[in-house]
Structures are given as structure tokens and as C-alpha cells.
């Protein structure tokens, strides 16, 4: 009866079971242009739904007291499985800088990002971002910083200061001494790549005599940026307000899906100005391509270019860890492998599956208050 109930509930939620449903989904997916794929369900959005429901029902507290109902335990098992999967993917991405994209499985990450165009305005929150590969866009040294700052113990803010310093044209000896140490940890040959300011001054004197007015205006902006970056008394916030000013726009641009060169669909939006990006990915079918976030750059319709890292941002990290720890205590053995696969493929459906189980038990207790068990009786049939 329990398995039949689960099966009927999944059918009611519209979860596809047959190859026919999969083919229908694929054909509609391939024909989409700038519209959300009909079966894409963000695991991060699902985790937010779980968080709100867990908080409103006080389920963490009930778990501590050992007063969870079977339905609540099932709900938490679903949430914990989804959280464990998300945490494993994020750990793999941060450690290796790459994660494989399995067909029909939705992926979502909040990744730290960087402004690589000083003095241009930041994206507004939720700005849809255009994506492209960064091979011919970013300087090699900037790519090294974006790829290596985290594993070399450099904070996102200090990595951003390094990127601004390089993009503003500072030579190695002009960069703040404390940042020079960070840069050498990331790229031991950085002093050779950036050169020395004394040689640059000779070249600049010749260039100043012949440069066009448009170039002179651009260099003036970069000179202002360099002045801020070499002033060790200025805080990060002060520097950021000049080199990545807030946009005057209040309305964000919409998101669109893009097809990457290796076949998966991806879209991105600014989460918090230039400092983090929400990325969503799905692959219709075929081989398992690799997602390497540091190979992409993102740009809003207006504003600065962003480099994307493999380091996690966002506000669900602590909640996900709580769920994972709870899942280890209460166990996830109640879930079959088929159910685990469905949770990965349809995380938002899984949320409603678990929530409706709780609602059903509450209603059942109201309708059958005298039943002590829900096995083989009218309450079970309900």
C-alpha cells in the first residue's frame, strides 16, 4: 500500500516514467528559444522550498526531540538526500574545478565572480547574463587568478584587487606589497609577466606624444583606478565603489538559455552585483560533458564583464550542511534508488511529494482520529 501510494502520488505530480514522456520532453527542449526548459527544476530553488517548510514546521527541533512523524522523517530524508547531492557536487567543483553534467539532471550553483572591467557599472541583482567562453577574452594572468585564488588561500576580495590592479595596467612593483605575495602564490612568474614600472615609464613618455584623444580619455580613467589601487589606506569598499560603481538601473534584464560548445544548456544571472553569479545547467541527452566554470565569462546587457570562478557563494551553504548532518543521523534508507534518481531529476517535484505526504498524514489523523495505526484499514486506503 505504501509503495502504491508513492507511485500514485508521483503520477499525480506529473513525473515522467516512460521513454515516450522523455522523447516528448526532448523534442520540446530542443525547440526552446530563450524560454525555461519545461522540466528544468533548480535544485537550489528546491532546497529553498525545503528550508522554508522545515523552518515553518520546526522540523529540526522536532528531530532533536525525537518527535518526528514517519511522513516528516520521509520529508527530511528527501531534503537530506538532495542536500548531500548538492554538497558533493559543490565540493567536487571547488576541488577539481570541473563537474560532469549527466543527461536530464538539472544543476545549479552560486559561484563567486569578478569584475574584469574597472570603472564600468555593476550588474543589478538578478540581471540576466550573456555567456561566452573566455579563451580570447581574459588575460592569461587573470585566468590564473580566477582559477587559483581559492586553493592558494587568497580571499575573493584580495583576488578582485589583484584583477583590478592588472586590468588597470599596474606593473608588478606598483602593486601593493601584500598583494604581490598573494599573486606570487597563485603565479610564481607573475613578476615576469607584468614587468617593471621603470621600463614602462620610458615607453609611456614616447607614447604620450602620439596617442589619440580617445585613448587619452581611457588612460585617464585607468590612471584614476591605479591611484586608488596603490593607496593602501583605502578600504575594499571604497575602491569597489569607484571601480565597480552601482548601476543607475533598477530593473534587471531577463535571462536566456545558451547552448555551450560541448552541448549543455546554461543560463546565468547576477546574484549580488559583480561578486556572485547563479548558474543553471541541463543537458538533454547524449554524452556527459564537463562544466568548467572558469572557462566562461558573463556580461549583462549593460555593464561590466564578469569572470566566473569555481568557488561557491550563496546563502544556503550552512542550511545544506545542517541537512547533511541530520541525514546522517536519521538515515536515508527509506528511499529506494529509483526515488533517489527521481529526486535528482525532479527536485521541486520531490519537495511537493514529501510535503504532500505530511499534509496527507495530518488530514488522515483528522478524519480517522480513532485509528491507532494506518496499516490495512480505511486510513491506509485514504
Residue 368 has pLDDT above 90, yes or no: no
- Segment 11-21 mean pLDDT: 36
CA–CA gap between residue 154 and residue 134 (Å, rounded): 22
Q: Are 281 and 111 in contact (CB under 8 A)?
A: no
CA–CA gap between residue 8 and residue 372 (Å, rounded): 24
| Residue appearing with cell numbers 602620439 | 210
Q: What is residue 283's DSSP assignment? A: B
- Segment 211-233 mean pLDDT: 60
Structure pTM? 0.80
pLDDT at position 242: 82
* For the chain, domain boundaries: 2-96+316-381, 99-112+250-312, 140-243
| DSSP-derived secondary structure for 30-95 | HH-SSS--TT---HHHHHHHHHHHHHHHTHHHHHHHT---HHHHHHHHHHHHHHHHHHHHHHHHHH
C-alpha cell at 329: 543521523
| DSSP-derived secondary structure for 340-356 | HHHHHH-HHHHHHHHHH
More confident residue, 213 or 252: 252
pLDDT at position 333: 62
CA–CA gap between residue 283 and residue 290 (Å, rounded): 11
Of 176, 152, 265, 182, nearest in space to 226 by CA? 176
C-alpha cell at 62: 522536532
- Segment 9-21 mean pLDDT: 37
pLDDT at position 38: 60
Half-sphere exposure of 284 (CA within 13 A, CB side): 19
- Segment 359-369 mean pLDDT: 78
Quick: pLDDT tens for 282-293: 987 777 789 999
- Mean pLDDT score of the chain: 81
Residue 238 has pLDDT above 90, yes or no: no
pLDDT category of residue 24 using cuts at 50, 70 and 90: very low
Quick: pLDDT tens for 68-114: 988 899 999 999 999 999 999 999 999 999 999 998 899 999 999 99
Amino acid at each position: 500500500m505504501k509503495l502504491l501510494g508513492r507511485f500514485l502520488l508521483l503520477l499525480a505530480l506529473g513525473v515522467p516514467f516512460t521513454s515516450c514522456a522523455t522523447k516528448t520532453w526532448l523534442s520540446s527542449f530542443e525547440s526552446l528559444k530563450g524560454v525555461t526548459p519545461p522540466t528544468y527544476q533548480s535544485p537550489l530553488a528546491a532546497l529553498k522550498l525545503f528550508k522554508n517548510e522545515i523552518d515553518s514546521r520546526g522540523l529540526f527541533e522536532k528531530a532533536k526531540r525525537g518527535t518526528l512523524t514517519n511522513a516528516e522523517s520521509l520529508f527530511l530524508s528527501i531534503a537530506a538526500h538532495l542536500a548531500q547531492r548538492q554538497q558533493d557536487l559543490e565540493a567536487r567543483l571547488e576541488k577539481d574545478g570541473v563537474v560532469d553534467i549527466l543527461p536530464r539532471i538539472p544543476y545549479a550553483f552560486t559561484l563567486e565572480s569578478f569584475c574584469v572591467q574597472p570603472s564600468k557599472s555593476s550588474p543589478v541583482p538578478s540581471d540576466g547574463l550573456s555567456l561566452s567562453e573566455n579563451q580570447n577574452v581574459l588575460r592569461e594572468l587573470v585566468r590564473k587568478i580566477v582559477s587559483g585564488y581559492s586553493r592558494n588561500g587568497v580571499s575573493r576580495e584580495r583576488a578582485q584587487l589583484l584583477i583590478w590592479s592588472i586590468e588597470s595596467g599596474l606593473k608588478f612593483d606598483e602593486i601593493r606589497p601584500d598583494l604581490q605575495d598573494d599573486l606570487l602564490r597563485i603565479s610564481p612568474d607573475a613578476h615576469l609577466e607584468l614587468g617593471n614600472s621603470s621600463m614602462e615609464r620610458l615607453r609611456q613618455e614616447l607614447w604620450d606624444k602620439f596617442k589619440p584623444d580617445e585613448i587619452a580619455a581611457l588612460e585617464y580613467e585607468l590612471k584614476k583606478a591605479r591611484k586608488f589601487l596603490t593607496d593602501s589606506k583605502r578600504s575594499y569598499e571604497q575602491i569597489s565603489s569607484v571601480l565597480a560603481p552601482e548601476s543607475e538601473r533598477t530593473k534587471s534584464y531577463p535571462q536566456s538559455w545558451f547552448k555551450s560548445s560541448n552541448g549543455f544548456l546554461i543560463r546565468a544571472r547576477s546574484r549580488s552585483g559583480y561578486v556572485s553569479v547563479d548558474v543553471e545547467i541541463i543537458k538533454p541527452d547524449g554524452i556527459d560533458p564537463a562544466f568548467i566554470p572558469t572557462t566562461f565569462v558573463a556580461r549583462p546587457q549593460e555593464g561590466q564583464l564578469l569572470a566566473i570562478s569555481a568557488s561557491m557563494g550563496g546563502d544556503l551553504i550552512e542550511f545544506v550542511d545542517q541537512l547533511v548532518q541530520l541525514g546522517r543521523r536519521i538515515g536515508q534508507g527509506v528511499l529506494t534508488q529509483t526515488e533517489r534518481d527521481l529526486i535528482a531529476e525532479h527536485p521541486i517535484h520531490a519537495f511537493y511529494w514529501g510535503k504532500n505526504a505530511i499534509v496527507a498524514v495530518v488530514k488522515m489523523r483528522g478524519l480517522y482520529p480513532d485509528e491507532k495505526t494506518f496499516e490495512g484499514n480505511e486510513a491506509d486506503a485514504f
